[in-house]
Amino acid sequence: MYPPSFDLTVARSVAEAVDALAEGGEDARILAGGQSLIPMLKLRFAAPSLLVDINEIPGLDVLERTNGHLRIGATARHADIVASDLPGGAVASAAPWISDPLVRNRGTVCGSVAHCDPEGDWNSVLLATGATVVATGPGGERSIDIGDFVVDFFTNSLAPGEMVTEVHVPVPSGASGGAYMKLERKVGDYATVGVATHLELGGD
């Protein structure tokens, strides 16, 4: 099927993206990797009148360790996680399980998190690791615990006009480990069951 018609705005800064979201209201959606949104458009499960492309915003592809956590920017791809030696534990374990190489090369971690698909891989990993979602909107920037961010199936706690700009995953200071595994009907499919574990060892 063909998607319904929509307008496209290419934002050059987070401020431009937030302004466009505010102008578009409930009918505006963020476009990063598009691996969840575009299929929904084609099936007409979603019909936004405005897409705000954030791929040209400098710095949103950040992937770095700083201030005790791993920063994953809104346009950082699944493949960036696979290729990097910065992530560890459950985060590093989950990335190769994401769909197939085509999806990993285009899809974003933050987009998957914001989509809140119960069959997705990332949210269980972020819950296990105690991650935080950073959202930016008309009122500025705020941090949301992942347990508060995921409200229900395909529903997050973003306020009108807000967008996810980063995900912060705590980096343990001591010995730690973690893993992610899923049961899938075929290779690259959504998880029928996905399990993430995270363990930190005390000084004793």
The tens digit of pLDDT for each residue in 24-38 reads 999 999 999 999 999
Distance CA 8, CA 11 (A): 10
Distance CA 164, CA 158 (A): 8
pLDDT number for residue 154: 92
Q: Where in 16-162 does DSSP place strands (E)?
A: 28-31, 50-53, 63-66, 69-73, 132-137, 140-145, 150-152, 155-156
Q: What number of other Cβ atoms are within 10 A of residue 204's Cβ?
A: 3
pLDDT number for residue 191: 79
At 92, the amino acid letter reads A
- First and final CA of the chain: distance in angstroms? 59
Q: Which residue has the higher pLDDT, 44 or 73?
A: 73
Given a cut of 80, is residue 188 above it in pLDDT? no
Rounded percentage of the chain residues whose pLDDT exceeds 70? 98
pLDDT number for residue 204: 61
Please say whether the beta carbons of 88 and 65 come within 8 A. no
Given a cut of 90, is residue 80 above it in pLDDT? yes
Q: Is 183 helix (H, G, I), strand (E, B) or coil?
A: strand
Given a cut of 70, is residue 173 above it in pLDDT? yes
For the chain, what is the mean pLDDT?
A: 93
Q: Is 96 helix (H, G, I), strand (E, B) or coil?
A: helix
Provide CB contacts within 8 A for 32, sequence distance 6+.
54, 55, 74, 75, 108, 110, 111
Domain coordinates in residue numbering, the chain: 58-200
Given a cut of 70, is residue 203 above it in pLDDT? no
Mean pLDDT along residues 100-124: 94
Mean pLDDT along residues 142-158: 96
Q: What is each CA distance from 120 to 33, 81, 126, 196, in whole angstroms?
A: 15, 16, 12, 12
Task: Give domain 58-200's CATH architecture.
Answer: 2-Layer Sandwich (3.30)
Given a cut of 80, is residue 1 above it in pLDDT? no
Phi and psi dihedrals of 99, rounded to 5? 40, -120
Cα-atom radius of gyration of the chain, to the nearest Å?
17
- Range in 18-32, 47-61, 144-158, 183-197 the model is least confident about: 183-197
pTM of the model: 0.92
* pLDDT tens digits, one per residue of 51-78: 999 999 999 999 999 999 999 999 999 9
